[in-house]
Amino acid sequence: MRILVIEDTDDVGEAVVHAFERMGHAVDWEKTRRDAEDALAVQIYALVVLDINLPDGSGFDLLSGLRSRGSTTPVLVLTARALVDDRVDALDTGADDYLVKPFDFRELEARARALLRRRQGSAVSVLSTGDLALDQVARAVTVAGRPVELTRREITLLEVLMGHPGKAFSKNDLLDQLYGFENEAGPNAIELYVGRLRRKLSGANVEIRTLRGIGYQILAPTASGQ
């Protein structure tokens, strides 16, 4: 999934970005409210991680503007303000969750996973389609209980497809979820990853179908047989 981190403190920002990249996500990192607004204007994110104290304004104002435009993107607020009133303000402004600094990165990762699952409409951390299962916590894939070795980006691509079985994703949709602004990749990269997934998942009873001129979708056995 593609995540936007808005944090002006270098060491915190680097650690947060590293944590999400280790989970397999594409991450964009902005340090000011203005740069974050520019990123949000051109890109759709699965999750926004927002520091409240920014050098050119309040994260609350950015969050309020995001919600006033009708955006439902999950927002996880990072704040050094530990008072109950501050946490209430964050939630009332439109935050989906918050963490008080300093925080344990294991908790950050767990809260982010919970918000991403909620966005996908799932309450559990294991995605299943046919006999294919993806554990989003362990970043592990099995076919009929048999482990399958996939690369980080292959897992991320599969996670996007399995999060919405039957939904068609264009190559650009998938590129947006696999790569951040700092990484350059073209549609051929998606073709490459899809080809690798098909080979590695050849024993599964699911199908990654190509829709000519549209993109790709993953189908469970009952759907692929229709």
pLDDT the model gives residue 63:
93
Instruction: Note whether 155 and 134 are within 8 A (CB).
Output: yes
pLDDT the model gives residue 153:
87
Q: What does the alpha-carbon distance between residue 86 and residue 80 come to, in Å, rounded to a whole number?
A: 10
Structural tokens at position 71: 């955006």
pLDDT the model gives residue 207:
93
pLDDT the model gives residue 223:
45
Distance of CA 48 to the CA centre of its chain: 9
pLDDT the model gives residue 13:
94
Q: What is the mean pLDDT of each run of 10 residues along the chain (226 residues)?
A: 93 93 89 95 92 91 92 90 80 90 91 84 77 89 94 90 91 84 75 93 92 92 52
Q: What does the alpha-carbon distance between residue 17 and residue 160 come to, in Å, rounded to a whole number?
A: 20
Find the DSSP H helices in 164-186: 171-178
Q: State pTM to two decimals.
A: 0.69
Distance of CA 121 to the CA centre of its chain: 14
